Amino acid sequence: MDVTARLTVFFEDPFWVGVYERRAGPLLEAAKVTFGKEPTDGQVYEFFLSHFSRLRFGAVLAPQSQPQRRPNPKRAQREAARALLSHGVGTKAQQAVSAQREEAGKIRQALRRERALEEKERRFALRTQKRKEKHRGR
């Protein structure tokens, strides 16, 4: 299996960000790293040597199949114009990182909902206990 890796460093206002792509055959995984100020090549290399094991690679994305035929030129031009109008994240690695962030947000939201429900139940139990104590005349 052919494994390739690529690092892209770019400026995403207000920080410099690195997107590390790892391709194993047809599958793509990505991890995002925020550097802060503009890193030098040496700093990037040192960072990945010391922190590579802690990188969280996102969900595996299978690449989209490529069309076998060339599309009609006018249709291709219209589709290109529509693609330029959408302001989505550019590369597949950035899309993978975005999907990873959304998944983490959903997990956090579920945990927060569960904690709120537990807190609500705890408060209810405390209220009912106080009511029973008052009723008993203590």
The model carries a pTM of 0.44
Phi, psi of 28 (to 5 degrees): -125, 130
User: E-strand spans in 13-110?
Assistant: 15-24, 27-36
pLDDT for 71-123, tens place per residue?
888 998 998 888 877 666 567 788 788 888 899 999 999 999 999 999 999 99
Q: Which H or E run includes 135? A: helix 92-136
- Residue 67 clears pLDDT 60, i.e. is over it: no
Average pLDDT of the segment spanning 54-78? 75
Which stretch of 16-25, 26-35, 51-60 has the lowest confidence by average pLDDT? 51-60
Contacts of 43-48 spanning 24+ positions with Cβ under 8 A: 44/7, 44/9, 44/18, 48/7, 48/20
- pLDDT confidence of residue 37: 81
Instruction: List the chain domain ranges.
Output: 3-63+92-136
- pLDDT classification of 35: cutoffs 50, 70, 90: confident
